[in-house]
A and B are shown apart, each in its own frame.
Chain A
Amino acid sequence: MIKILLNTVIRNLYKQKVYSIVNILGLATGVTCTLLILIWVNYELSFDTYHKDIERIYTVYENQKYADGDIFSVYSTPSPLAESLKEEYPEVEYASRLVSTWGQLVLSANGKTFVETGGKIVDPDFFKIFSIPVLYGDYISPLSNESTIVLSRRLSEKLFGDIDPIGLSIEINSNYQFIVGAVVENAPENSSIHYDFFLPFKFFKEYWEYDLSDWEANSFHLFVKLKDGANSEYLAENIRHHVRQRIPYSNVELDLQAFEKYHLYSISKNKSGPIWYVQVFLLVAVLILLIACFNYMNLATARSERRAREVAIRKVVGAQRRGLVGLFLTESIVFTTIALGLGIVFVELLLPVFSDLTNRTLTLNPGNLKFLIAVVLIVLSTGVLSGSYPALFLSSFLPIQVIRGVFRQDSAMLRKVLVIIQFTMSIALFICTCVIYKQLNFLKDSDVGYNKDNIVYVEMLDDFYEEYSELKGELLKIPGVHWVTAANQMPVNFLNSTWDVNWPNKSVDSEDVLFQLSFVDFDFIETFEMDVIQGRGFSNQFGEDTLKFIINESAAEKMGMVYTIGEKISLWNYTGEVIGIVKDFNFNSLQVGVDPLIMMRKPSSFKYIGIRVGEDKDPIINKIRKVWNRKFSHIPFNYRLLEEDFNYFYQAESRMGKLFASFTAIAFIISCLGLFGLVSFITENKAREVALRKVFGANVDNVFQLLFKEILKWIVLSIAIAWIISFFAMEWWLNGFAYRIEMGIGIFIMAAVLSLLVACLTIYRQIARLVTIAPAHVLKYE
């Protein structure tokens, strides 16, 4: 029976080639998108899962509470916290701090020298918390010896080749000696923590002169592994005020985040983190698959006239409804299976592009059990869903109606509804894509309060401020170099903050206002072309200009100063006067607003040289490189462009925007296939009406108008529904930005015009064929 069933299905498929191709392509496209999205989602969900006992690993983070009710959540914690938690709470089995090496280090070994930035400073417990395979050396406790360095396989091979380097020495920045204690496997790509080498905290303390017993500075990620069976909620509750118990005026509350959530979930209460993208794209996958299923339903029921006779005959000779439902479901499952085969081929072909778009190395692994389960589920659910309506509808024909010729197409209404839903979803996706693009372009192009273009910056190694002065002089001699300055950070990503700022008449309410903090050199304001509202920037015309402050508008407002300079304020134990107020500029992503900012000149903290160059950057950069190489022959000239960093802020969003656009295009294509199916059905059904109208005097134009009107009114209805849905969805999305666009009516009108145009193009040929057919040809079959 099954063989006969399949035989019939395959013959049907072959006989109706256009129908089959349209249907299979629709399903295959839907399946392809769904599989691509599932592969990506699976990859995102696989992050960090390779760590043993991951359910026992937690990150400790700070919720900093501010006067205005804001809660600022950060992964940075004080250094003594790790040891203190381990001592006081029996639930904590292991605890390790983690901090990236601040900037680049020069590693020399085996006669080779490399500048490396991928160093991590961790406690020995780090290797007990995380599953990092040790390839050579100390398997039990890497890094427990404070004179050792742990290398990743990659760095070990780079420095020493294929040999076992245990016991060999490495020199860091010419005056720190380490022995290779262990070589560990590289971090897999789906790891949240990436590393090239690990160093002990002793180095951190000595090299950066950091007071590791200070409870007030917070520079460290903290990971803990709880004992088996420990209650994390109970622990989180207990450690909440741990910092405040030591620093009574601290605004910090501690909390725990399960490490499983580290990659996808935000610790900020009002942000969802990248999981949002995962959810949105899962929704998109479901929508596209639904659109493809509706498409199938539409096309399958559109052929009902053709199939009715077959159903009637089968029933006359004894088929029960159940058997016929089976037949049509088999048909849809066969279609879906073929579509899946095709979909897998498409996925293989598209994966490289998709990997590029998502910035992940994605692979199709057909042997994977999860993949197989997903595939079977997709085939069954798509097959059954898309086949369900045709099966129930077609099998419900009463043979007597078909034989008597009074058989009616009751599914017409439902089919219209399906097309309306398809188009609504596609148009809504289209509008959302346009809004997302508009917002991203707005963020990229909007005035950030300084000129981010044509800024080249280089990271300096420590202790060469003296050399910097000389370098600055030489750089300024290069034609095309307009300004040179130095700072501890570039304005794309300010990381330092403090609430230890005082000013005259500071109110209790302002006690814990968080100030961003930046240490900048002479000419900083000029280099970045910031607007000075009052006063001046730091300048060597005024001597050293230390113990002076420049603040931004927001800071002035918080301090209650109405643009007056000369006020004395103090930062930590430095007291000095405000010499300038700058217009607010964005030093973080525009998704967040501008915080109060204090700038001070503190040469010992400078890390970057910022250079404003002319439009034609490349030759100027080459000249800068020559000067650099002459002065620092042992350090490679690794420059960056500020505008590239700035764009990096929006990389995730822009990537998601591109993905969204691709899937929207696909949704549109499938919807058009649906419309094509519906129109074929209508033309089949309307042939007689059109012929009769023509016999009685209608001309081609009249009939054209009549049919277009009938079809386009559904598209208009879809447009109206899509407008409403997308408007509210995008309002909600835009409200998550500190700086946002107004959507404007343009996008909505564009979506409407475009969808009408696409719809017209889809249906034109079929309608044209119908209206030009000779009436005698249609009526003779009556």
Chain B
Amino acid sequence: MIKTKNLIKIFRTDEVETTALNNVNLEINEGEFVAIMGPSGCGKSTLLNIIGLLDNPSEGEMHFNGYQVENYTERQRTNLRKENIGFVFQSFNLIDELTVFENVELPLLYMKVSGSERKRRVNEALERMNIAHRAKHFPQQLSGGQQQRVAIARAVISNPKLILADEPTGNLDSANGEEVMNLLTQLNEEGTTIIMVTHSPSDADRSHRIIQLFDGHVVTENMRQKL
């Protein structure tokens, strides 16, 4: 599903050049649950952003679902992204001005799904995340765990093939973190590919494979036995 070849990402300012990713070669298959780990600043989030088509690499190839995308324009990336990828962030990234229902509905609006269909799917997703009773509330009225469940509902609403989670439990207490990880595991079991950046070894334990990054290099790839 995802293949990178000699992926390099360099950040340049006027005087400093920082290599965030250096010759990263990866292959992730459909249905996998992959955890990316490593110390702060090692390039985990950069890799996730490039895989998530939020950013282009400086050099190298990036294949997504059979398309070679490293030179795609913003518009092309957006189109590919909205059909195929869902995002879950550490800081939830919900829009404060929209209700829970509207936040979850947002991707469907940009996919031009009809009103009745949107309503059905949003309600279904909220039920599934066990947050339907909060549909009319605004994000700030919810707990962190609830907000992250809303964010997951938003990520899955378009039935994406891939979910990218950037430290999804980073802002949550252990009970809420556990609940979120259960949801992600469940989604993976239903066939969704999941790539998750995490600092938490226990969260990483849920994955099939752990990719260790250090200073922009892939150091090790550990296959794990699915529990």
Contacts and interface: CB of A to CB of B under 8 A. Distances in A.
Instruction: Label chain A's interface by main secondary structure.
Output: helix
A318 B82 contact: yes
Contacts of B96: 15, 310
Interface in B75-97: 75, 78, 81-82, 87, 89, 93-97
A309 interface: yes
A49 interface: no
A781 to B, nearest CB: 12
A318 B93 contact: no
B106 A317 contact: yes
Contact of A400 (B54, B75, B78, B111): B54
A317 B82 contact: yes
Interface stretch (A4-12, A24-32, A449-457): A4-12
Point out which of B102, B106, B111 has the most chain A C-beta atoms below 10 A from its C-beta. B106
A768 interface: no
A404 interface: yes
A695 interface: no
B168 interface: no
A425 B92 CA distance: 45
A5 to B, nearest CB: 10
B109 A4 contact: yes
B110 A309 contact: no
B193 interface: no
B3 interface: no
Interface in B87-131: 87, 89, 93-98, 102, 106-107, 109-111
Contact of B54 (A7, A8, A15, A399): A399
Contacts of A318: 78, 81-82, 107, 110-111, 158
Contact of A15 (B81, B97, B106, B158): B97
Point out which of B75, B78, B94, B102 has the most chain A C-beta atoms below 10 A from its C-beta. B78
Contact of B97 (A8, A323, A398, A400): A8
A303 interface: no
A734 B102 CA distance: 62
B12 to A, nearest CB: 12
A404 B91 CA distance: 12
B154 interface: yes
Nearest to B87: A316
A1 interface: yes
B55 interface: yes
Contacts of A310: 95-97
Nearest to B103: A313
Contacts of A319: 78, 110
Contacts of B94: 313
A314 interface: yes
A312 B154 CA distance: 15
Contacts of B106: 313-314, 317
Contacts of B87: 316-317
B82 A403 contact: no
A645 to B, nearest CB: 64
B112 to A, nearest CB: 9
Contacts of A320: 75, 78, 110
A4 B54 contact: no
B97 A403 contact: no
Contacts of A321: 74-75
A415 B109 CA distance: 33
Contacts of A4: 102, 109
Contacts of A1: 109
Contacts of B81: 316, 318
Interface in A177-215: none
A399 B56 CA distance: 12
B45 A323 contact: no
Interface string A299-329: 0000000000110111111111101000000
A404 B78 CA distance: 18
Interface residues of B, number: 25
B49 interface: yes
Contacts of B78: 315, 318-320
Nearest to B52: A316
B110 A323 contact: yes
A309 B103 CA distance: 13
Contacts of A403: 49, 54, 89, 93
Contact of A8 (B74, B89, B98): B98
Point out which of B75, B93, B97, B109 has the most chain A C-beta atoms below 10 A from its C-beta. B97
A404 B50 CA distance: 12
Contacts of A8: 97-98, 102
A313 B93 contact: yes
Interface in B29-56: 45, 49, 54-55
A133 B45 CA distance: 84
A4 B102 CA distance: 9
A323 B110 CA distance: 9
B107 A12 contact: no
Contacts of A317: 82, 87, 106-107, 110, 154
Contacts of B49: 400, 403-404
Contacts of A309: 93, 95
A404 B45 contact: yes
Interface in A1-46: 1, 4, 7-8, 11-12, 15
B89 to A, nearest CB: 7
Nearest to A3: B115
Interface string B137-148: 000000000000
B126 to A, nearest CB: 16
A398 B82 CA distance: 16
Contacts of A398: 74
A12 B102 CA distance: 14
B107 to A, nearest CB: 4
A321 B81 CA distance: 14
Contacts of A404: 45, 49
A560 to B, nearest CB: 80
Point out which of A12, A400, A404 has the most chain B C-beta atoms below 10 A from its C-beta. A400
Contacts of A12: 97
A314 B54 contact: no
Point out which of A316, A320, A400 has the most chain B C-beta atoms below 10 A from its C-beta. A316
A1 B98 CA distance: 14
Contacts of A15: 96-97
B85 to A, nearest CB: 9
A318 B102 CA distance: 14
Contacts of B82: 317-318
Nearest to B102: A4
Contacts of A11: 97-98
Given A1-B109, A15-B96, A320-B75, 20 more contacts: A4-B109, A7-B102, A8-B98, A11-B97, A12-B97, A310-B97, A314-B95, A314-B110, A317-B107, A317-B154, A318-B81, A318-B82, A318-B111, A319-B78, A320-B110, A323-B110, A398-B74, A400-B49, A400-B54, A403-B49
List of 5 A-B pairs having minimum Cβ-Cβ separation, nearest first: A318-B82, A318-B110, A317-B107, A400-B55, A400-B54
Interface of A: 1, 4, 7-8, 11-12, 15, 309-310, 312-321, 323, 398-400, 403-404
